[in-house]
Structure 1
Amino acid sequence: MKIKSYIKKPYPFYYEELKKVLFILCALALVSFLFTYLFEPFNVNVSEHRINSLWIVVLHSVIPIPIAFMYVFFLNKSVKNIENWTLGKEFLHLAVILFLIGLASFLIRDFIYTNPDNWSFRYLWEEIRNTFLVGSLLLIIILPLNLERLIYKHSTVLQKLPIQQQNTKEVNTIAQIQTPILEEKFELDIQTFLFAKVDGNYLEIFFSTSNGFEKYLKRLTLKEFDDQLNAFSFIFKVHRSYIVNLKAITSISGNAQGYVLNLKEYTQGTIPVSRSRIQEFNRIYSNRSK
Protein backbone atom coordinates (compact mmCIF):
# COMPACT_ATOMS: atom_id res chain seq x y z
CA MET A 1 0.00 0.00 0.00
CA LYS A 2 2.89 2.37 0.76
CA ILE A 3 4.46 1.69 -2.63
CA LYS A 4 1.10 2.22 -4.37
CA SER A 5 0.65 5.53 -2.57
CA TYR A 6 4.23 6.58 -3.31
CA ILE A 7 4.05 6.03 -7.07
CA LYS A 8 0.83 8.09 -7.19
CA LYS A 9 2.64 11.18 -5.93
CA PRO A 10 2.66 14.13 -8.37
CA TYR A 11 5.82 14.38 -10.46
CA PRO A 12 6.98 17.13 -12.87
CA PHE A 13 6.31 16.59 -16.57
CA TYR A 14 9.70 17.50 -18.04
CA TYR A 15 8.92 16.82 -21.70
CA GLU A 16 7.28 20.05 -22.87
CA GLU A 17 10.57 21.68 -23.87
CA LEU A 18 11.88 19.33 -26.55
CA LYS A 19 15.18 21.19 -27.00
CA LYS A 20 16.05 20.53 -23.36
CA VAL A 21 14.99 16.90 -23.78
CA LEU A 22 17.34 16.53 -26.77
CA PHE A 23 20.20 18.11 -24.82
CA ILE A 24 19.66 15.76 -21.89
CA LEU A 25 19.52 12.73 -24.20
CA CYS A 26 22.83 13.73 -25.79
CA ALA A 27 24.38 14.20 -22.34
CA LEU A 28 23.13 10.76 -21.25
CA ALA A 29 24.51 9.24 -24.46
CA LEU A 30 27.94 10.70 -23.64
CA VAL A 31 27.80 9.34 -20.08
CA SER A 32 26.70 5.94 -21.39
CA PHE A 33 29.56 5.91 -23.90
CA LEU A 34 32.19 6.79 -21.30
CA PHE A 35 30.82 4.26 -18.81
CA THR A 36 30.67 1.41 -21.33
CA TYR A 37 33.98 2.22 -22.99
CA LEU A 38 35.99 2.74 -19.81
CA PHE A 39 34.54 0.05 -17.55
CA GLU A 40 33.36 -2.60 -20.07
CA PRO A 41 30.58 -3.87 -17.78
CA PHE A 42 29.39 -6.62 -20.19
CA ASN A 43 31.20 -9.69 -21.46
CA VAL A 44 31.88 -9.59 -25.21
CA ASN A 45 33.38 -11.97 -27.74
CA VAL A 46 35.67 -9.83 -29.89
CA SER A 47 36.04 -12.61 -32.50
CA GLU A 48 32.34 -12.17 -33.44
CA HIS A 49 32.62 -8.43 -34.13
CA ARG A 50 31.94 -7.22 -37.66
CA ILE A 51 33.05 -3.69 -36.76
CA ASN A 52 35.54 -2.15 -34.35
CA SER A 53 34.62 -2.32 -30.64
CA LEU A 54 34.74 1.46 -30.37
CA TRP A 55 32.05 1.83 -33.03
CA ILE A 56 29.91 -0.75 -31.28
CA VAL A 57 30.02 1.33 -28.11
CA VAL A 58 29.20 4.45 -30.14
CA LEU A 59 26.19 2.75 -31.76
CA HIS A 60 24.80 1.55 -28.44
CA SER A 61 25.23 5.04 -26.99
CA VAL A 62 23.71 6.98 -29.91
CA ILE A 63 20.78 4.73 -30.91
CA PRO A 64 18.76 5.63 -27.77
CA ILE A 65 18.68 9.32 -28.78
CA PRO A 66 16.22 9.11 -31.74
CA ILE A 67 14.18 6.37 -30.06
CA ALA A 68 13.70 8.29 -26.80
CA PHE A 69 13.19 11.63 -28.56
CA MET A 70 10.45 10.30 -30.86
CA TYR A 71 8.72 8.58 -27.95
CA VAL A 72 8.83 11.79 -25.88
CA PHE A 73 7.63 13.83 -28.86
CA PHE A 74 4.44 11.76 -29.19
CA LEU A 75 4.06 11.51 -25.41
CA ASN A 76 4.11 15.30 -25.19
CA LYS A 77 1.35 15.45 -27.83
CA SER A 78 -0.82 12.87 -26.08
CA VAL A 79 -0.69 14.12 -22.47
CA LYS A 80 -3.41 16.75 -22.06
CA ASN A 81 -3.31 17.32 -18.32
CA ILE A 82 0.24 17.40 -16.96
CA GLU A 83 -1.07 18.07 -13.42
CA ASN A 84 -2.08 14.38 -13.35
CA TRP A 85 1.47 13.24 -14.09
CA THR A 86 2.82 11.01 -11.30
CA LEU A 87 6.00 9.22 -10.31
CA GLY A 88 4.42 5.95 -11.43
CA LYS A 89 3.66 7.31 -14.92
CA GLU A 90 7.20 8.65 -15.21
CA PHE A 91 8.59 5.29 -14.17
CA LEU A 92 6.33 3.39 -16.60
CA HIS A 93 7.13 5.51 -19.66
CA LEU A 94 10.87 5.48 -18.99
CA ALA A 95 10.67 1.70 -18.67
CA VAL A 96 8.92 1.51 -22.06
CA ILE A 97 11.69 3.66 -23.57
CA LEU A 98 14.34 1.35 -22.12
CA PHE A 99 12.50 -1.65 -23.55
CA LEU A 100 12.39 -0.07 -27.02
CA ILE A 101 16.10 0.74 -26.82
CA GLY A 102 16.86 -2.87 -25.87
CA LEU A 103 14.69 -4.09 -28.74
CA ALA A 104 16.54 -1.81 -31.18
CA SER A 105 19.88 -3.11 -29.91
CA PHE A 106 18.67 -6.63 -30.64
CA LEU A 107 17.52 -5.75 -34.16
CA ILE A 108 20.94 -4.39 -35.17
CA ARG A 109 22.88 -7.41 -33.93
CA ASP A 110 23.37 -8.77 -37.47
CA PHE A 111 25.09 -5.52 -38.39
CA ILE A 112 27.47 -5.81 -35.42
CA TYR A 113 28.05 -9.52 -34.80
CA THR A 114 28.65 -12.65 -36.89
CA ASN A 115 26.98 -14.93 -34.36
CA PRO A 116 24.49 -17.28 -36.13
CA ASP A 117 22.15 -17.08 -33.11
CA ASN A 118 21.70 -13.30 -33.34
CA TRP A 119 17.92 -13.70 -33.73
CA SER A 120 17.47 -16.04 -30.78
CA PHE A 121 15.33 -15.29 -27.73
CA ARG A 122 18.47 -15.54 -25.62
CA TYR A 123 20.02 -12.47 -27.24
CA LEU A 124 16.72 -10.61 -27.24
CA TRP A 125 16.57 -11.10 -23.48
CA GLU A 126 20.27 -10.21 -23.12
CA GLU A 127 19.95 -6.89 -24.99
CA ILE A 128 16.86 -5.85 -23.05
CA ARG A 129 18.39 -6.95 -19.76
CA ASN A 130 21.62 -5.02 -20.41
CA THR A 131 19.64 -1.90 -21.32
CA PHE A 132 17.69 -2.07 -18.07
CA LEU A 133 20.90 -2.65 -16.10
CA VAL A 134 22.28 0.61 -17.46
CA GLY A 135 18.97 2.46 -17.01
CA SER A 136 18.19 1.12 -13.55
CA LEU A 137 20.17 3.97 -11.97
CA LEU A 138 17.67 6.44 -13.41
CA LEU A 139 14.57 4.40 -12.59
CA ILE A 140 15.37 3.18 -9.10
CA ILE A 141 17.62 5.90 -7.65
CA ILE A 142 17.41 9.23 -9.50
CA LEU A 143 13.60 9.44 -9.83
CA PRO A 144 12.83 8.96 -6.10
CA LEU A 145 15.72 11.23 -5.11
CA ASN A 146 14.50 13.97 -7.44
CA LEU A 147 10.96 13.60 -6.10
CA GLU A 148 12.10 14.03 -2.50
CA ARG A 149 14.40 16.92 -3.47
CA LEU A 150 11.57 18.86 -5.08
CA ILE A 151 9.13 18.18 -2.23
CA TYR A 152 11.72 19.35 0.31
CA LYS A 153 12.59 22.42 -1.76
CA HIS A 154 9.00 23.59 -2.18
CA SER A 155 8.00 22.77 1.40
CA THR A 156 11.02 24.66 2.77
CA VAL A 157 10.20 27.79 0.77
CA LEU A 158 6.58 27.64 1.93
CA GLN A 159 7.70 27.93 5.55
CA LYS A 160 8.95 31.44 4.79
CA LEU A 161 5.59 32.64 3.51
CA PRO A 162 3.20 34.40 5.91
CA ILE A 163 0.75 31.94 7.42
CA GLN A 164 -2.07 34.35 8.18
CA GLN A 165 -3.69 36.69 5.72
CA GLN A 166 -2.65 40.27 6.24
CA ASN A 167 -5.23 43.02 6.48
CA THR A 168 -6.20 44.10 3.00
CA LYS A 169 -8.32 46.90 1.72
CA GLU A 170 -11.80 45.85 0.75
CA VAL A 171 -12.52 46.18 -2.92
CA ASN A 172 -16.17 46.58 -3.83
CA THR A 173 -15.58 46.99 -7.53
CA ILE A 174 -17.71 45.00 -9.92
CA ALA A 175 -15.57 44.13 -12.95
CA GLN A 176 -17.19 44.38 -16.37
CA ILE A 177 -15.88 41.40 -18.33
CA GLN A 178 -16.00 41.60 -22.11
CA THR A 179 -16.14 38.47 -24.26
CA PRO A 180 -15.62 37.96 -28.01
CA ILE A 181 -19.42 37.73 -28.26
CA LEU A 182 -20.74 41.14 -27.23
CA GLU A 183 -24.07 39.80 -25.97
CA GLU A 184 -22.26 37.49 -23.49
CA LYS A 185 -20.45 40.20 -21.51
CA PHE A 186 -21.02 39.88 -17.77
CA GLU A 187 -20.29 41.40 -14.37
CA LEU A 188 -17.94 39.74 -11.90
CA ASP A 189 -17.85 40.57 -8.20
CA ILE A 190 -14.12 40.53 -7.40
CA GLN A 191 -14.84 39.94 -3.71
CA THR A 192 -16.50 36.59 -4.43
CA PHE A 193 -14.24 35.48 -7.29
CA LEU A 194 -12.26 32.32 -6.42
CA PHE A 195 -10.44 31.16 -9.55
CA ALA A 196 -10.74 30.59 -13.29
CA LYS A 197 -9.77 27.44 -15.14
CA VAL A 198 -9.30 26.66 -18.83
CA ASP A 199 -11.75 24.07 -20.14
CA GLY A 200 -11.01 23.46 -23.82
CA ASN A 201 -12.25 26.48 -25.77
CA TYR A 202 -14.08 27.79 -22.72
CA LEU A 203 -13.21 29.29 -19.36
CA GLU A 204 -14.72 28.09 -16.08
CA ILE A 205 -15.03 31.00 -13.65
CA PHE A 206 -15.68 29.99 -10.03
CA PHE A 207 -17.09 32.33 -7.37
CA SER A 208 -18.33 31.86 -3.82
CA THR A 209 -21.98 32.08 -2.82
CA SER A 210 -23.94 31.77 0.41
CA ASN A 211 -24.44 28.07 -0.42
CA GLY A 212 -20.83 27.32 -1.35
CA PHE A 213 -19.70 28.12 -4.87
CA GLU A 214 -20.97 28.37 -8.42
CA LYS A 215 -19.35 28.84 -11.81
CA TYR A 216 -19.77 30.55 -15.14
CA LEU A 217 -18.81 28.85 -18.38
CA LYS A 218 -17.74 31.48 -20.89
CA ARG A 219 -16.21 31.40 -24.37
CA LEU A 220 -13.16 33.37 -23.29
CA THR A 221 -9.42 32.73 -23.21
CA LEU A 222 -7.47 32.87 -19.97
CA LYS A 223 -5.36 35.74 -21.33
CA GLU A 224 -8.42 37.78 -22.32
CA PHE A 225 -9.82 37.30 -18.83
CA ASP A 226 -6.52 38.01 -17.08
CA ASP A 227 -5.94 41.22 -19.05
CA GLN A 228 -9.25 42.61 -17.80
CA LEU A 229 -8.27 42.02 -14.16
CA ASN A 230 -4.91 43.81 -14.22
CA ALA A 231 -6.20 46.44 -11.81
CA PHE A 232 -6.44 43.89 -9.01
CA SER A 233 -3.01 42.97 -7.67
CA PHE A 234 -4.37 39.97 -5.73
CA ILE A 235 -5.57 38.24 -8.92
CA PHE A 236 -2.65 36.11 -10.08
CA LYS A 237 -2.00 33.61 -12.86
CA VAL A 238 -0.57 30.62 -10.99
CA HIS A 239 -0.47 28.25 -13.94
CA ARG A 240 -0.95 28.31 -17.69
CA SER A 241 -4.51 27.06 -17.08
CA TYR A 242 -5.43 28.82 -13.80
CA ILE A 243 -5.95 32.32 -12.39
CA VAL A 244 -6.57 32.64 -8.65
CA ASN A 245 -7.80 35.22 -6.17
CA LEU A 246 -4.98 35.19 -3.60
CA LYS A 247 -7.40 36.41 -0.91
CA ALA A 248 -9.35 33.18 -1.26
CA ILE A 249 -6.41 30.93 -0.31
CA THR A 250 -6.89 29.07 2.97
CA SER A 251 -3.78 26.86 2.89
CA ILE A 252 -0.77 26.02 0.74
CA SER A 253 1.19 22.78 0.53
CA GLY A 254 4.11 21.70 -1.62
CA ASN A 255 4.73 18.72 -3.87
CA ALA A 256 7.21 17.83 -6.62
CA GLN A 257 5.24 19.76 -9.25
CA GLY A 258 5.13 22.99 -7.26
CA TYR A 259 2.50 24.27 -4.81
CA VAL A 260 -1.06 23.14 -4.20
CA LEU A 261 -3.65 25.71 -3.09
CA ASN A 262 -6.82 25.17 -1.10
CA LEU A 263 -9.50 27.85 -1.52
CA LYS A 264 -12.37 28.84 0.76
CA GLU A 265 -15.76 27.44 -0.18
CA TYR A 266 -14.21 25.26 -2.90
CA THR A 267 -14.01 21.66 -1.66
CA GLN A 268 -13.90 19.72 -4.93
CA GLY A 269 -10.14 19.87 -5.46
CA THR A 270 -7.01 21.96 -5.26
CA ILE A 271 -5.34 24.52 -7.54
CA PRO A 272 -1.77 23.95 -8.80
CA VAL A 273 1.00 26.54 -8.85
CA SER A 274 3.47 25.52 -11.55
CA ARG A 275 7.20 25.43 -10.82
CA SER A 276 7.85 28.25 -13.29
CA ARG A 277 5.46 30.53 -11.38
CA ILE A 278 6.59 29.80 -7.83
CA GLN A 279 9.11 32.61 -7.48
CA GLU A 280 6.66 35.25 -8.70
CA PHE A 281 3.88 33.71 -6.59
CA ASN A 282 6.04 33.96 -3.47
CA ARG A 283 6.71 37.63 -4.15
CA ILE A 284 3.10 38.57 -4.91
CA TYR A 285 1.60 36.48 -2.12
CA SER A 286 4.01 37.84 0.50
CA ASN A 287 3.12 41.42 -0.48
CA ARG A 288 -0.57 40.93 -1.23
CA SER A 289 -1.65 43.71 1.15
CA LYS A 290 -0.19 46.33 -1.19
Structure 2
Amino acid sequence: MKDIFKKFKKYLTTPYPYYYDNTKRVLFLLLLISVLSFGFSYFFEPFEVNAAEHKINSIAILLVHAFIPFPIAFCYFKLVDRTLKEDTKWTLGKELFHLSIILLLIGIAGFLIRDFIYTNPDNWSLTYFWEEIRNTFLVGFLLIIIVLPLNLERLIHKHAHSVQQLIKKQTKAAHNKLISIKDAASQEIFELHSSEFLFAKVESNYTEVYTFSATGVHKTLLRITLKELEEQLTPMAPQVFKTHRSYLVHLGAIETITGNAQGYQLSLKNCATTIPVSRSTIARFNAVYSKL
Protein backbone atom coordinates (compact mmCIF):
# COMPACT_ATOMS: atom_id res chain seq x y z
CA MET A 1 0.00 0.00 0.00
CA LYS A 2 2.88 2.33 0.85
CA ASP A 3 4.51 1.61 -2.52
CA ILE A 4 1.25 2.38 -4.34
CA PHE A 5 0.99 5.70 -2.51
CA LYS A 6 4.59 6.56 -3.43
CA LYS A 7 4.00 5.71 -7.08
CA PHE A 8 0.81 7.77 -7.14
CA LYS A 9 2.59 10.71 -5.48
CA LYS A 10 5.40 10.46 -8.03
CA TYR A 11 2.85 10.33 -10.85
CA LEU A 12 1.22 13.54 -9.59
CA THR A 13 4.59 15.31 -9.60
CA THR A 14 5.18 14.36 -13.24
CA PRO A 15 5.73 17.49 -15.40
CA TYR A 16 2.61 18.42 -17.35
CA PRO A 17 2.27 21.06 -20.08
CA TYR A 18 0.88 24.43 -19.03
CA TYR A 19 -1.76 25.44 -21.59
CA TYR A 20 -3.20 28.61 -20.07
CA ASP A 21 -0.72 31.27 -21.19
CA ASN A 22 -2.40 31.56 -24.59
CA THR A 23 -5.87 33.15 -24.63
CA LYS A 24 -6.89 31.67 -28.00
CA ARG A 25 -5.89 28.19 -26.87
CA VAL A 26 -7.84 28.56 -23.60
CA LEU A 27 -10.94 29.76 -25.45
CA PHE A 28 -10.72 26.84 -27.89
CA LEU A 29 -10.28 24.26 -25.09
CA LEU A 30 -13.19 25.66 -23.08
CA LEU A 31 -15.45 25.73 -26.13
CA LEU A 32 -14.52 22.14 -26.96
CA ILE A 33 -15.21 21.01 -23.37
CA SER A 34 -18.56 22.83 -23.34
CA VAL A 35 -19.62 21.11 -26.57
CA LEU A 36 -18.50 17.70 -25.25
CA SER A 37 -20.32 18.30 -21.96
CA PHE A 38 -23.53 19.22 -23.79
CA GLY A 39 -23.25 16.18 -26.06
CA PHE A 40 -22.60 13.83 -23.13
CA SER A 41 -25.62 15.11 -21.17
CA TYR A 42 -27.88 15.18 -24.22
CA PHE A 43 -27.14 11.69 -25.55
CA PHE A 44 -26.53 9.75 -22.33
CA GLU A 45 -28.88 11.59 -19.91
CA PRO A 46 -26.79 10.59 -16.87
CA PHE A 47 -28.98 12.39 -14.32
CA GLU A 48 -32.62 11.93 -13.41
CA VAL A 49 -34.71 15.01 -14.26
CA ASN A 50 -38.25 16.12 -13.44
CA ALA A 51 -39.53 17.98 -16.50
CA ALA A 52 -42.53 19.31 -14.53
CA GLU A 53 -40.16 21.56 -12.51
CA HIS A 54 -38.53 23.16 -15.57
CA LYS A 55 -39.07 26.88 -16.15
CA ILE A 56 -37.32 26.56 -19.53
CA ASN A 57 -37.11 23.65 -21.97
CA SER A 58 -34.67 20.77 -21.47
CA ILE A 59 -32.33 21.78 -24.31
CA ALA A 60 -31.95 25.27 -22.85
CA ILE A 61 -31.14 23.79 -19.43
CA LEU A 62 -28.46 21.55 -20.96
CA LEU A 63 -26.99 24.56 -22.75
CA VAL A 64 -26.91 26.58 -19.51
CA HIS A 65 -25.14 23.80 -17.63
CA ALA A 66 -22.74 23.15 -20.51
CA PHE A 67 -21.72 26.78 -21.12
CA ILE A 68 -21.85 28.31 -17.62
CA PRO A 69 -18.40 26.76 -16.94
CA PHE A 70 -16.99 28.79 -19.85
CA PRO A 71 -16.71 32.23 -18.13
CA ILE A 72 -15.88 30.68 -14.73
CA ALA A 73 -12.99 28.61 -16.07
CA PHE A 74 -11.74 31.41 -18.34
CA CYS A 75 -11.54 33.95 -15.50
CA TYR A 76 -9.92 31.38 -13.20
CA PHE A 77 -7.25 30.45 -15.74
CA LYS A 78 -6.45 34.11 -16.43
CA LEU A 79 -5.99 34.61 -12.69
CA VAL A 80 -3.70 31.57 -12.47
CA ASP A 81 -1.68 32.79 -15.45
CA ARG A 82 -1.18 36.22 -13.88
CA THR A 83 0.02 34.81 -10.57
CA LEU A 84 2.11 31.90 -11.92
CA LYS A 85 5.83 32.64 -11.73
CA GLU A 86 7.28 29.53 -13.37
CA ASP A 87 5.23 27.42 -15.77
CA THR A 88 8.05 24.87 -16.15
CA LYS A 89 7.18 23.67 -12.62
CA TRP A 90 3.62 22.81 -13.62
CA THR A 91 2.76 19.19 -12.83
CA LEU A 92 -0.08 16.72 -13.33
CA GLY A 93 -0.99 17.19 -9.65
CA LYS A 94 -1.25 20.98 -10.05
CA GLU A 95 -3.39 20.51 -13.14
CA LEU A 96 -5.76 18.20 -11.23
CA PHE A 97 -5.86 20.55 -8.23
CA HIS A 98 -6.82 23.63 -10.23
CA LEU A 99 -9.33 21.73 -12.37
CA SER A 100 -10.94 20.44 -9.15
CA ILE A 101 -11.32 24.00 -7.86
CA ILE A 102 -12.94 25.00 -11.15
CA LEU A 103 -15.37 22.06 -10.91
CA LEU A 104 -16.27 23.13 -7.37
CA LEU A 105 -16.94 26.72 -8.54
CA ILE A 106 -19.05 25.42 -11.42
CA GLY A 107 -21.07 23.25 -9.02
CA ILE A 108 -21.69 26.25 -6.74
CA ALA A 109 -22.74 28.35 -9.76
CA GLY A 110 -25.13 25.59 -10.84
CA PHE A 111 -26.71 25.68 -7.40
CA LEU A 112 -27.05 29.49 -7.41
CA ILE A 113 -28.94 29.53 -10.73
CA ARG A 114 -31.44 26.82 -9.77
CA ASP A 115 -34.19 29.39 -9.07
CA PHE A 116 -33.92 30.66 -12.64
CA ILE A 117 -34.49 27.26 -14.24
CA TYR A 118 -36.42 25.12 -11.70
CA THR A 119 -39.67 25.71 -9.75
CA ASN A 120 -38.73 23.35 -6.90
CA PRO A 121 -39.37 25.00 -3.48
CA ASP A 122 -36.28 23.23 -2.08
CA ASN A 123 -33.89 24.85 -4.55
CA TRP A 124 -31.86 26.38 -1.72
CA SER A 125 -31.56 23.20 0.33
CA LEU A 126 -28.28 21.47 1.21
CA THR A 127 -29.53 18.43 -0.68
CA TYR A 128 -29.56 20.28 -3.99
CA PHE A 129 -26.30 22.08 -3.14
CA TRP A 130 -24.60 18.69 -2.78
CA GLU A 131 -26.40 17.34 -5.85
CA GLU A 132 -25.14 20.15 -8.11
CA ILE A 133 -21.54 19.74 -6.91
CA ARG A 134 -21.73 15.94 -7.15
CA ASN A 135 -23.15 16.02 -10.68
CA THR A 136 -20.52 18.54 -11.80
CA PHE A 137 -17.69 16.36 -10.49
CA LEU A 138 -19.21 13.24 -12.04
CA VAL A 139 -19.22 14.77 -15.53
CA GLY A 140 -16.00 16.74 -15.09
CA PHE A 141 -13.89 13.98 -13.63
CA LEU A 142 -15.08 11.53 -16.24
CA LEU A 143 -13.43 13.76 -18.86
CA ILE A 144 -10.38 14.57 -16.69
CA ILE A 145 -9.38 11.00 -15.78
CA ILE A 146 -9.57 10.02 -19.45
CA VAL A 147 -7.99 13.06 -21.11
CA LEU A 148 -5.11 13.94 -18.75
CA PRO A 149 -3.37 10.53 -18.54
CA LEU A 150 -3.80 9.92 -22.27
CA ASN A 151 -2.40 13.35 -23.13
CA LEU A 152 0.47 12.90 -20.67
CA GLU A 153 1.53 9.55 -22.15
CA ARG A 154 1.11 10.85 -25.71
CA LEU A 155 3.42 13.82 -25.08
CA ILE A 156 6.03 11.81 -23.19
CA HIS A 157 6.20 9.28 -26.03
CA LYS A 158 6.27 12.00 -28.69
CA HIS A 159 9.07 14.02 -27.08
CA ALA A 160 11.12 10.95 -26.10
CA HIS A 161 10.93 9.79 -29.73
CA SER A 162 11.87 13.30 -30.92
CA VAL A 163 14.97 13.30 -28.70
CA GLN A 164 16.11 10.03 -30.27
CA GLN A 165 16.00 11.66 -33.71
CA LEU A 166 18.63 14.20 -32.70
CA ILE A 167 22.13 13.44 -33.87
CA LYS A 168 24.06 12.15 -30.87
CA LYS A 169 27.24 14.15 -31.07
CA GLN A 170 29.32 16.68 -29.24
CA THR A 171 28.76 20.20 -30.52
CA LYS A 172 31.84 21.87 -31.86
CA ALA A 173 33.50 24.26 -29.47
CA ALA A 174 33.09 27.84 -30.62
CA HIS A 175 35.96 30.30 -30.59
CA ASN A 176 36.39 31.82 -27.14
CA LYS A 177 35.36 35.46 -27.38
CA LEU A 178 35.24 38.20 -24.76
CA ILE A 179 31.76 39.70 -24.91
CA SER A 180 30.71 42.93 -23.21
CA ILE A 181 27.17 43.04 -21.83
CA LYS A 182 25.75 46.44 -20.89
CA ASP A 183 23.46 46.63 -17.86
CA ALA A 184 20.56 48.91 -18.87
CA ALA A 185 19.99 50.25 -15.35
CA SER A 186 23.49 50.87 -14.01
CA GLN A 187 25.14 51.36 -17.40
CA GLU A 188 27.90 49.10 -16.13
CA ILE A 189 29.66 46.69 -18.46
CA PHE A 190 29.69 42.98 -17.60
CA GLU A 191 32.28 40.97 -19.49
CA LEU A 192 32.08 37.25 -20.08
CA HIS A 193 34.05 34.72 -22.08
CA SER A 194 31.78 32.94 -24.55
CA SER A 195 33.16 29.52 -23.55
CA GLU A 196 32.15 30.14 -19.92
CA PHE A 197 28.51 31.08 -20.59
CA LEU A 198 26.03 28.38 -19.51
CA PHE A 199 22.54 29.87 -19.53
CA ALA A 200 20.44 32.89 -18.57
CA LYS A 201 17.12 32.94 -16.77
CA VAL A 202 14.50 35.65 -16.24
CA GLU A 203 13.88 36.40 -12.57
CA SER A 204 11.36 39.19 -11.86
CA ASN A 205 12.82 42.42 -13.35
CA TYR A 206 16.28 40.94 -13.70
CA THR A 207 18.06 38.38 -15.83
CA GLU A 208 20.31 35.88 -14.07
CA VAL A 209 23.40 35.04 -16.10
CA TYR A 210 25.18 31.79 -15.20
CA THR A 211 28.81 31.16 -16.13
CA PHE A 212 31.35 28.48 -15.30
CA SER A 213 35.06 28.95 -14.57
CA ALA A 214 37.78 27.12 -12.67
CA THR A 215 36.22 28.32 -9.40
CA GLY A 216 32.77 26.88 -10.19
CA VAL A 217 29.37 28.18 -11.34
CA HIS A 218 28.72 31.91 -10.93
CA LYS A 219 25.49 33.88 -11.09
CA THR A 220 25.32 37.54 -12.12
CA LEU A 221 22.17 39.66 -11.89
CA LEU A 222 21.64 42.13 -14.74
CA ARG A 223 18.90 44.73 -15.13
CA ILE A 224 18.26 43.69 -18.70
CA THR A 225 15.59 41.75 -20.59
CA LEU A 226 16.28 38.32 -22.02
CA LYS A 227 15.77 39.70 -25.52
CA GLU A 228 18.34 42.45 -24.93
CA LEU A 229 20.81 39.89 -23.60
CA GLU A 230 20.22 37.65 -26.61
CA GLU A 231 20.94 40.58 -28.93
CA GLN A 232 24.17 41.35 -27.09
CA LEU A 233 25.25 37.71 -27.35
CA THR A 234 25.02 37.65 -31.17
CA PRO A 235 28.82 37.06 -31.43
CA MET A 236 28.04 33.57 -30.04
CA ALA A 237 25.36 32.79 -32.64
CA PRO A 238 24.13 30.19 -33.45
CA GLN A 239 25.26 28.57 -30.18
CA VAL A 240 22.92 30.70 -28.05
CA PHE A 241 19.28 29.60 -28.23
CA LYS A 242 16.09 30.76 -26.49
CA THR A 243 14.58 27.45 -25.36
CA HIS A 244 11.71 28.98 -23.40
CA ARG A 245 10.28 32.45 -22.79
CA SER A 246 12.36 32.59 -19.60
CA TYR A 247 15.56 30.77 -20.64
CA LEU A 248 18.51 31.35 -22.94
CA VAL A 249 21.06 28.52 -23.20
CA HIS A 250 24.52 27.91 -24.62
CA LEU A 251 24.03 24.88 -26.90
CA GLY A 252 27.71 24.00 -26.63
CA ALA A 253 27.27 23.44 -22.89
CA ILE A 254 24.59 20.74 -23.32
CA GLU A 255 25.54 17.33 -21.95
CA THR A 256 22.29 15.33 -22.23
CA ILE A 257 18.75 15.85 -23.55
CA THR A 258 15.67 14.08 -22.19
CA GLY A 259 12.00 14.38 -23.12
CA ASN A 260 8.90 14.75 -20.94
CA ALA A 261 5.32 15.99 -21.37
CA GLN A 262 6.38 19.65 -21.27
CA GLY A 263 9.05 19.29 -23.95
CA TYR A 264 12.75 18.65 -23.38
CA GLN A 265 14.99 18.97 -20.35
CA LEU A 266 18.62 19.93 -20.98
CA SER A 267 21.40 18.94 -18.60
CA LEU A 268 24.47 21.15 -18.90
CA LYS A 269 28.12 20.36 -18.30
CA ASN A 270 29.36 21.44 -14.86
CA CYS A 271 25.86 22.61 -13.85
CA ALA A 272 23.14 20.95 -11.74
CA THR A 273 20.29 23.11 -13.12
CA THR A 274 18.16 21.58 -15.89
CA ILE A 275 16.91 23.87 -18.65
CA PRO A 276 13.45 23.43 -20.21
CA VAL A 277 12.79 23.44 -23.94
CA SER A 278 9.13 24.32 -24.43
CA ARG A 279 6.89 22.26 -26.73
CA SER A 280 6.50 25.15 -29.15
CA THR A 281 10.27 25.49 -29.51
CA ILE A 282 11.19 21.83 -30.05
CA ALA A 283 11.09 21.84 -33.86
CA ARG A 284 13.34 24.91 -34.12
CA PHE A 285 15.65 23.58 -31.40
CA ASN A 286 16.04 20.27 -33.28
CA ALA A 287 16.86 22.10 -36.50
CA VAL A 288 19.47 24.39 -34.91
CA TYR A 289 21.08 21.81 -32.61
CA SER A 290 21.44 19.13 -35.27
CA LYS A 291 23.37 21.55 -37.53
CA LEU A 292 26.00 22.54 -34.94
TM-score between both structures, scaled by the size of structure 2: 0.94
Q: Does 1:270 align with 2:286?
A: no
Q: What secondary structure is seen at the aligned counterpart in 1 of 2:234?
A: coil
Q: Cα deviations across residues 30-49 of structure 1 (Å, max 9, x unaligned)?
A: 22222222322211111111
- List alignment gaps of at least 5 residues for structure 2: 1-5
Q: Does 1:177 align with 2:181?
A: yes
Q: Does 1:209 align with 2:217?
A: no
Q: Does 1:106 align with 2:85?
A: no
Give the superposition deviation at 1:172. Answer: 2.3
- Indicate how the Cα distance of structure 1 residues 50 and 169 shifts in structure 2: closer, same or farther if over 3 A, else same: closer
1:27 matched to which residue of 2?
A: 32
For 2:15, which of 10, 15, 20 is the aligned residue? Answer: 10
Residues 1-290 of structure 1: pairs in structure 2 closer than 5 A: 1-166=6-171, 168=172, 170-181=174-185, 183-232=187-236, 233-267=238-272, 269-288=273-292
Give the superposition deviation at 1:281. Answer: 0.7
Q: What secondary structure is seen at the aligned counterpart in 2 of 1:6?
A: helix
Query: Where do 4+ consecutive residues of structure 1 move more than 3 Å?
Result: none
2:3 matched to which residue of 1?
A: none
Give the superposition deviation at 1:170. Answer: 4.1
CA distance in 1, matches of 2:142, 2:46: 14
Q: What secondary structure is seen at the aligned counterpart in 2 of 1:191?
A: helix
Q: What secondary structure is seen at the aligned counterpart in 2 of 1:69?
A: helix
Q: What secondary structure is seen at the aligned counterpart in 1 of 2:276?
A: strand
- List alignment gaps of at least 5 residues for structure 1: none
Give the superposition deviation at 1:262. Answer: 0.7
Deviates more, 1:29-38 or 1:41-50: 29-38
CA distance in 1, matches of 2:30, 2:222: 42
CA distance in 2, matches of 1:245, 1:91: 34
Give the superposition deviation at 1:178. Answer: 2.3
CA distance in 1, matches of 2:213, 2:223: 22
Q: Cα deviations across residues 56-80 of structure 1 (Å, max 9, x unaligned)?
A: 1111112111111111111111111
Aligned-pair identity in percent equals 54
Please tell me the residue identity of whatever aligns with 1:207. T
Q: Does the aligned pair in 1 maintain the 2:173–2:252 contact within 8 Å?
A: no
Q: Cα deviations across residues 156-192 of structure 1 (Å, max 9, x unaligned)?
A: 01011122304x2540221122232574112210011
CA distance in 1, matches of 2:240, 2:91: 29
Please tell me the residue identity of whatever aligns with 1:63. I
Q: Cα deviations across residues 122-171 of structure 1 (Å, max 9, x unaligned)?
A: 111111111111111332121111111111111001011122304x2540
CA distance in 2, matches of 1:154, 1:210: 35
Q: Does the aligned pair in 1 maintain the 2:185–2:224 contact within 8 Å?
A: no
CA distance in 2, matches of 1:183, 1:97: 47
Q: Does the aligned pair in 1 maintain the 2:54–2:119 contact within 8 Å?
A: yes
Please tell me the residue identity of whatever aligns with 1:283. A
Give the superposition deviation at 1:19. Answer: 2.2
CA distance in 2, matches of 1:85, 1:99: 21
CA distance in 2, matches of 1:58, 1:277: 38
Q: What secondary structure is seen at the aligned counterpart in 1 of 2:235?
A: coil
